Amino acid sequence: MSVTHPAGFRASGVVAGLKSTGARDLALVVNDGPSKAAAAVFTSNRAKANPVLWSEKVIEDGRIDAVILNSGGANCFTGAFGFQTTHATAEAVADALGVAAGDVLVCSTGLIGVGDQSFRDAILDNVPPAVAALSGERDGGADAALAIMTTDSKPKESTIESRAGWSIGGMAKGAGMLAPGLATMLVVITTDADLDAATLDRALRAATRVTFDRVDSDGCMSTNDTVTLMASGASGVAADEAEFTTALTALCLDLATQLQRDAEGASHDIAIEVVNAASEDDAVVVGRAVSRSNLLKAAIFGNDPNWGRVLAALGTTDAEFDPYRIDVSMNGVMVCREGEPGDDRELVDLTPRATSILIDLKSGDATATIYTNDLTHDYVYENSAYAS
């Protein structure tokens, strides 16, 4: 149970025939209320997929009755026909549920340029089975989490139970192109807390800013990224905003690190913590520059604690620091002290999958952590064969 853990939500995942494997590829999550308050954030990429263009309009009134998601095709750069497909999908869900199409969020993920008549037919023909499965004997949350996977090796789900009597559940997909402005991911989060749309929006933006927005696996940004938060109010408990935001942030971090651990072909999960920066923005800029160094990522893959590549990367930023005072630690060993060689690099053990890089800028008291992965042969192979 994930998105169906909070009261007031049903979900399903069915086979629409979009994936060549015959796996589930069409998911539906429905909010039965009594509240329909919602918030959403989307990719900051200027090249947006048709479902994003549609859903940005849907969320403007702060209400969502249902979210339908497909894998097996991004429906991006498919022209007017693709947008009409998105609209038709929302209409089909609305008709089947007895709601307004303007309250149905649509999400797609998969290969860009896919969105022809067969794609449309596969989705529209399988909306009725997806709706029928909402009332099936199976808990549909697990099926929905499976249906949104593309190159993921496993579904990503999380739940949090509050002592105050409300809960949060979430599911995510994503295994590559994990860059700022969200990732190549779709995320649906549900809660039975009684909160209005404005509160949900503030909480969601606060949570994604320090979680999903800081997963930077390969520096590439997708066209379809969507994170949706729906509140049913079914618990009857009006959650404290600060408490809810803290819980939501914890759930988003759990899902974000699940995305990081499942990144395509990765053998190391790298947390780059920047401390004592002049500002949080500086900390993020430095961490992101280091996370995007292919030289460093290749070194980590080879279990080589090449700290010089850390300093070379952060030196490309305009953050405030003196490069000749910086300390760098790798997996607990300070390999660079005051911009000079520190402890023996042979003391660094990079064989565990979990890898930490700590960078002390000695310029202030701000901090930020960026999450990334190493660069492996498997990553290159997987992305070279993605469309085949």
pLDDT-based confidence at residue 136 (cuts at 50, 70, 90): confident
Same domain, 273 and 243: no
Same domain, 233 and 292: no
- Asked if the bond preceding 128 is cis, omega within 30° of 0, the reply is no
- Please say if the pLDDT value at position 54 is more than 80: yes
Give the pLDDT confidence score for residue 380 in this predicted structure. Answer: 73
Angle ∠(167,207,321) on CA atoms, nearest 5: 150
- Of the residues 4, 151, 184, 245, only one is catalytic, namely 184
Same domain, 237 and 284: no
Q: Which pLDDT score is estimated for 131?
A: 97
| Statement to judge: residues 377 and 257 lie in one domain | no
Q: Which residues are annotated as a binding site for substrate?
A: 150, 173, 184, 264, 383, 388
The DSSP call for residue 331 is T
Q: Considering the domain boundaries, does residue 326 fall inside one?
A: yes
- What is the rounded end-to-end Cα distance, in angstroms, of the chain? 33
Say whether 49 sits in a helix, a strand or coil: coil
pLDDT above 80 (res 117): yes
Residues 170 and 219 in one domain: yes
DSSP code for 215: B
- For residue 153, tell me if it sits in a domain: yes
DSSP string over 243-311 = HHHHHHHHHHHHHHHHHHHT-TT-S-EEEEEEEEESSHHHHHHHHHHHHT-HHHHHHHHTT---THHHH
Report pLDDT for 183.
43
273 and 249 belong to one structural domain: no
Distance, CA of 140 to CA of 129 (rounded, Å):
12
Structural domain contains residue 158: yes
Same-domain pairing of 112 and 19: yes
Q: What is the pLDDT of residue 50?
A: 96
Comparing CA positions, the residue from 207, 182, 205, 190 lying closest to residue 52 is: 182
Longest Cα separation, the chain: 67
Q: What total number of domains does the chain contain?
A: 2
| Number of neighbours of residue 341 by Cβ within 10 angstroms | 12
In a domain, 3, yes or no: no
Residue 300: CA count within 13 A, CB half-sphere: 31
In a domain, 139, yes or no: yes
Is 4 among the domain residues? no
- Domain containing 313 — which CATH number? 3.10.20.340
Q: What is the pLDDT of residues 144-153, one digit of tens each?
A: 999 999 888 8
- Residues 103, 68: Cα–Cα separation, whole Å: 11
Cβ–Cβ < 8 Å for 73, 89:
no
Which of 261, 294, 329 is where one domain is finished? Answer: 261
- Let me know whether 51 and 97 are in one domain: yes
Among residues of the chain, what percentage have pLDDT more than 90? 81
DSSP 60-116: GGSB-SEEEEEESB---S-HHHHHHHHHHHHHHHHHHHTS-GGGEEEEEES-TT---
Query: Phi, psi at residue 340, to the nearest 5°?
Result: -135, 165
- Collapsing DSSP states into helix, strand and coil, what is residue 133? helix
CB count, 10 Å around CB of 244?
A: 25
Domain co-membership, 52 together with 148: yes
Of the residues 240, 261, 282, which one is the last residue of a structural domain? 261
Same domain, 279 and 246: no
Same structural domain, 172 and 32: yes
For the question of residue 184 being annotated catalytic, the response is yes
Q: Which of 200-204, 236-240, 263-267, 333-337 has the lowest mean pLDDT?
A: 263-267
Whether 304 is in a domain gets the answer yes
CATH number of domain containing 79: 3.60.70.12
Tell me the pTM.
0.91
CB contact at 8 A, 36 and 9:
no
* pLDDT number for residue 83: 97
What's the confidence (pLDDT) of residue 102?
A: 98
Q: What is the dihedral of CA 364, 367, 371, 375, to 10 degrees?
A: 10
Three-class SS state of 39: strand
Q: In what order do the strands lie in the sheet with 26-31?
A: 9-14, 26-31, 66-71, 104-109
Final residue in a domain of this structure, among 233, 261, 289: 261
Residue 20: its pLDDT value, please?
86
- Asked if 37 and 89 touch (Cβ cutoff 8 Å), the reply is no
Strands (E) across 145-262 are located at: 156-161, 167-173, 186-191, 226-231
> If you average pLDDT over residues 25-52, what whole number do you get?
95
Q: Is 246 within a domain?
A: yes
Residues 153 and 285 in one domain: no
Whole domain around residue 306: which residue ranges? 269-384
